[in-house]
Structure 1
Amino acid sequence: MGMTITEKILAAHAGKERVEAGELINAKLDVVLGNDITAPVAIKEFEKAGATKVYDKDRIMLVPDHFTPNKDIKSAEQAKLVREFARKHEITNYFEIGEMGIEHCLLPEQGLVLPGDVIIGADSHTCTYGALGAFATGVGSTDMAAGMATGEAWFKVPEAMKFNYHGKELKPWVSGKDLILYTIGKIGVDGALYRSMEFMGEAIENLSMDGRMTMANMAIEAGGKNGIIAPDETTLAYVEKRAKRQFELYKSDEDANYVETYDFDVADIEPQVAFPHLPENTRPVSEAGNVKLDQVVIGSCTNGRIEDLRVAAEVLKGRRVNRDLRLIVIPGTQLIYLQAVKEGLAEIFVNAGAVFSTPTCGPCLGGHMGILAAGEKALATTNRNFKGRMGSPDSEVYLSNPAVAAASAVAGYIVSPEEVCK
C-alpha cells in the first residue's frame, strides 16, 4: 500500500522508508515558530531545561504579532523577553515592529516555509503552511522549547482524510473560506480529530495560493492535526520566487490509505456564515436572516492577504460603512499593507469609513483594537467564534469571507454581496 503526502514527508524526516498511521516517530524539524504569547513560555522552558544554544539560528522564527504594537505593560514585557532572547541567540528570523506581520501570512510571503517541510509552531494555526505541501502543525510551548534546543519533535502519524472538491468554477463571491466553512459544517469541529485533512480536486487546483492558505489555516477548526494540499504549478509559481533554501515536492500515492473520503460539488456551495459559538454552526448567507451588527473585522491569518483586501475593496468602493457599526481592516503583513496603499485599496477603506490598521492579530483572539462589549455582535473573517473569543462572553462572533463581511458592513446586518453590489 502507498503513502499519503503527509506520511511521505514524516517518513523522510524520521529517516524511514515508510511510516503508517498510529506509528510514533521522532522527526527532524525544518522550522520552529513562536509568537509573543507562546514564545515567552517556551523560552522559560528552554532555559529551565539548561539549554544554552538553539539548534539552528536560521530555522527558528520569532514573530511578535498577537499583542503588538504592545497594548499594555504585560504585553510589552512579553515582547521584550522575546526580543532579548532573539538578540542573545542571534536569531536570524526575528521580526520586530515595522517588519513583522501576522505570522502565518508573513512566513510564506518571506519564503521561510516551503514544500516538503516539517514545521511546528506554538500557535494552533501553524497548519496554514500545509497549503504549500508541507507538514505543519501547532504544538505547545514545551514542545517548542524542545524543538528550539534539539531540532526534533515526536509525532503520532495521523490517519488521513480525503476531501475532493469537484467543479472548476466557484459561485460568485465564493472563496476558499466558504469551502472550508462548508466542510467544517459537514463534519463538525471534531470531525477530523488528530487526522490529516488532504484537500484536492478541480476546485482546489483552480484556487489561488491565498485561498489555499485560508483552507489549510482552518483545518484545526475541524480538529485536524494538519491540513495539506499537494504542490502544483500554482504552488511553484508562488514559492520559487520566494524560497530562501532548497525544497522537495511530495504527493500522495494513488493507493494511499484514507479512513474517510468526502466529495463536494462546489456548484452547491454559496457564501457561508458560521453562527455563534462554533465554526461548525454554518449556514448559507441566504439563510442568515437579519442579524444586526456592531462591528465587522476583515483580516487575520485566515483572511488578511492581498486577495482578501481586494475583494473587500471591490464591495466597498463608492459605498459607506453603516453608521451604526465599526469596520476594522487589518492587512496581514507590511508588504500587503504597502500593496494595498499602492493599489488604492487603503484609500477605498478609509473613504468608506473603515479603520485601516497596522498588521496585527488584534481583535481575532480578543487581544486589542476591536474588543466587543456585552451584547455586541461582530462579523469577522477570522477563524474562531467561540464564546468570548473577541471580548465579552456575552458578545457574539459570526464568521464569513471578506466579500460578505464588506457587504454586511455597508448594510449594517449580515447580507450577501449580491444584495449590495446590484
Structure 2
Amino acid sequence: TDSHTCMGGANDALAFGVGATEYAALVKSGFTFLEVPQSIRFELVGRLPRGTTAKDVMLHILAHHARRQETLDRVMEFGGEGLRSLDPDERATLANMATECSAKAGVVEADEEMLRWIAARRPGASVDELRRRVVMPDPGAEYAGGRHTIDLAHIRPMVATPGDAAKGIPSDPTNGALIAELGEVKIDIAYGGSCTAGKEVDLDLYARVMREAMEAGLKVKEGVDFYIQFGSESVEEYARRRGYLDVFQKTGVRVIHPGCGACIGCGPGVSSSTEQVTVSAINRNYQNRSGPGRLYLASPLTVAASAVAGKIVAYREGMFAERGAALAAR
C-alpha cells in the first residue's frame, strides 16, 4: 500500500501501490482489476556531468513534464543508451519518483548490469533465468504521452522549492529551479535518507562530499543539523564496511538507523518551526510533510555540500579544498 511501491519498476517490473481496501481484496481473492494505463517514454542519451545525479534528472522531469501533467496517470518508461551509464541504485530513483510525477508507475528497461544486480541479491536466481523474464517495448510501440529525449549531459543541479504561499504557489516537487539561479538560501537542516536517497550509491555520494570536506579541515556548518538515515540494515552495514560511519562522525553528521523518518514527519530531521529551512534528499516537499518549515528537495550531493556550506549550493569537485585554502590564508 506504499505510494513508492513503484520503485520496483527499477527491476523492469510494473509495480504500484494500492489502497487498503483494494489490498484486503487482493489478499482474499488473489487478484484485482486494472485498467491498462497509457505510457510515456523517456529516452535518456549522453552521460550526467559530475556533480549531478538521477535525482536532478527527476527534478528536471517534474519541472518540465509532470508540471504540464504529461505524466498524469501514465506509466513512465525509461530507456536509451544514457540509462546504461546510471548505477542500478540511481535507476531506482527514476522509478521511485514516478509517484511525485502523479504517474501510475515507472518502468526502467533492464540490461545485463541490472540482471547481475538482482541475481546477486536474490538467492537462487541466475542471470540466464532473469534474462528470459525481461519484457521490452514492442517495435514501433506508440506512447500516448509521447517520446521525450533527455540529454543527460545537459542536466544541471536542481532543487524543488517550497513555493510562495503569499503568491498562491504551493510547496510542490514540480517547483523546479536551477541552483545556479536560486540566490542565497541559508539552511537550518540537511537530511539525506528515505527510500529515494538512502541506498548504497547515495551513501557513496554523501561520503564523497564529507570526506572532501574533512580533508580540507571542514565539517558540518555550525548551526546546521545534518542527518543521514540508512534505507535498510544492509545499507547501514555497507556504510560501516566502507568506513563511512567514521567519516560522518568526524564531520559532524548524525546518522539514524533505517526507517522512513523525516520523510513522513517522524524523528530527527523534521523542522519544528515555520522559520526553519531544510534541504532534503527525500522525494516530496508538500507543506507540513516534514514539519512546518520550508523544504527544498535536492540530490544527495547537493544536500551534503549544503550542510558544509550552511546554504544551498551545488557540489563541485574540489570546492572544499579551495575554501579550506582560503581560510588557512587568513
TM interval, shorter chain, is 0.7 to 0.9
Question: 128, 147, 152: which is aligned to 2:26?
Answer: 147
Distance in 2 separating the partners of 1:405 and 1:193:
28
Q: Residues 219-238 of structure 1 correspond to what in structure 2 (within 5 A)? A: 219-238=98-117
Distance in 1 separating the partners of 2:311 and 2:242:
28
1:219-245 superposed Cα distances (whole Å, 9 cap, x missing partner) = 111111010012111111111122356
Distance in 2 separating the partners of 1:420 and 1:186:
32
Could you list the runs of 5+ residues in structure 2 that have no partner in the other structure? Answer: 163-170, 323-330
Moved over 4 A (4+): 244-247
Q: Residues 144-293 of structure 1 correspond to what in structure 2 (within 5 A)? A: 144-167=23-46, 169-189=47-67, 190-244=69-123, 248-259=133-144, 260-276=146-162, 277-293=171-187
Question: 355, 364, 373: which is aligned to 2:272?
Answer: 373
Distance in 2 separating the partners of 1:221 and 1:404:
20
Distance in 1 separating the partners of 2:88 and 2:202:
12
SS in structure 2 of the partner of residue 221 of structure 1: coil
| Cross-structure match for 1:71 | none
Q: CA contact under 8 A between 1:378 and 1:396: conserved in structure 2?
A: yes
Amino acid at match of 1:184: L
Question: 300, 304, 313: which is aligned to 1:402?
Answer: 300
Residues 272, 421 of structure 1: CA spacing in aligned structure 2 closer, same or farther, 3 A cutoff?
farther
Distance in 1 separating the partners of 2:109 and 2:66:
24
Distance in 2 separating the partners of 1:252 and 1:139:
25
- Percent identical across equivalent pairs? 34
Q: Residues 26-175 of structure 1 correspond to what in structure 2 (within 5 A)? A: 122-167=1-46, 169-175=47-53
Q: CA contact under 8 A between 1:165 and 1:202: conserved in structure 2?
A: yes
RMSD of aligned residue pairs (Cα, Å): 1.4
What is the aligned residue count?
Answer: 298
Offset at 1:421? 5.7
Question: 412, 416, 421: which is aligned to 2:310?
Answer: 412
Q: CA contact under 8 A between 1:288 and 1:415: conserved in structure 2?
A: no
* Alignment pair present for 1:302 and 2:202: no
Distance in 2 separating the partners of 1:210 and 1:363:
21
Distance in 2 separating the partners of 1:212 and 1:316:
24
| Cross-structure match for 1:325 | 224
Distance in 1 separating the partners of 2:182 and 2:242:
32
Give the TM-score of the pair, scaled to structure 2. Answer: 0.87
Amino acid at match of 1:181: L
Q: CA contact under 8 A between 1:315 and 1:421: conserved in structure 2?
A: no
